[in-house]
Homo-oligomer: A and B are copies of this chain.
């Protein structure tokens, strides 16, 4: 019986994180087996959470799909929209799930909806029995190019966006572009803001294509060839940024462009702003800061500021507020472990990180943006 007086044990293991995203048109067609491509089918059960509006349009097809494949499905609906991203919604999903026994590993939960729904359901899947698998089917553009691409989920809490959540990879993301067909213009533009973000900080070619075809692609609800190209390019770009940093071990993230000041704007004006609309306001403010600092030349700044107008978006610049945005930055400093790490554009398609933005700088940038909005508003081409 040998004694070890200074015992110490070290655990060091590798874990593989794997998932895929698959384009699969008409995902509710019973001949398309993508929805059942993971997990057991024979005697299988599925817990399915569908956005209320998607259920209004596609509920019967979804039910018929599972009946056709003899799957015992429990289908529940959740309201979409930021107001539904709550601990209560999360607990409701968990209670319904707990009332419908599923195998822990081979009967994945299926989340069909926008970014809010897949975030709430992903967080429920992450917390149930310490994690059960899930599949995401984004039905909004925001979900398609942003929320579904990575492994983050969450709910709002205590007045803060996404304050609770986890990193939990889906097993698979099913991308059915035809579902975007019926989206209202405002929601297409909402998702488009995340594509703009990506173009500004890392993809000059995507930016050029947005300048040329962004307007027509929105009009075609991304069902045209240019729209398909833009979506593929945006997803590829997102994955280039996210995949090597899935758990945000590196806190300086290009994809946080547009996600510093927007945090406060969205919290304060949640009744008025969609997520992408707040992101666009942040993009404009950040661009104005970068220009004032001399990080960004005038012509590139004009192109970035001008793109929103070209795409017939009307950002609510009157909501920009120095105090609110400074507070948002302070919260992001805690989130980014004590340092600002704010991505700012250094050209169209390039970015740098800065750690020394001042409150005065924010206020000045907003003032310049208001001047710019007044003078430019009339002559931005609406294409």
Contact = CB atoms under 8 A, between A and B. Distances in A.
Interface of A: 1-23, 87, 91, 94-95, 98, 101-106, 126-131, 152, 154, 157-158, 160, 162-167, 169, 175, 209, 225-226, 228-229, 232, 235-236, 239, 242-244, 246-248, 251, 334-338
Nearest to A244: B13
Nearest to A12: B18
Contact of A166 (B127, B160, B242, B247): B127
Contacts of A19: 10-11
Contact of A225 (B3, B95, B160, B165): B3
A169 B7 CA distance: 19
Given A11-B20, A13-B246, A104 B337 contact: yes
B334 A131 contact: no
18 contacts: A7-B23, A8-B22, A8-B23, A11-B20, A11-B243, A11-B246, A12-B18, A13-B16, A13-B243, A13-B246, A14-B16, A94-B163, A95-B158, A101-B334, A103-B334, A104-B251, A128-B164, A131-B166
Contacts of A13: 16-18, 243-244, 246
Would you list the 6 A-B pairs with minimal beta carbon distance, nearest first? A105-B337, A7-B23, A9-B21, A130-B165, A10-B20, A103-B337
Contacts of A335: 104, 129
Contacts of A95: 158
B158 A94 contact: yes
A175 to B, nearest CB: 7
Given A94-B163, A130-B162, 4 more contacts: A1-B225, A9-B21, A94-B157, A130-B154
A163 B129 contact: yes
A162 to B, nearest CB: 8
A152 to B, nearest CB: 6
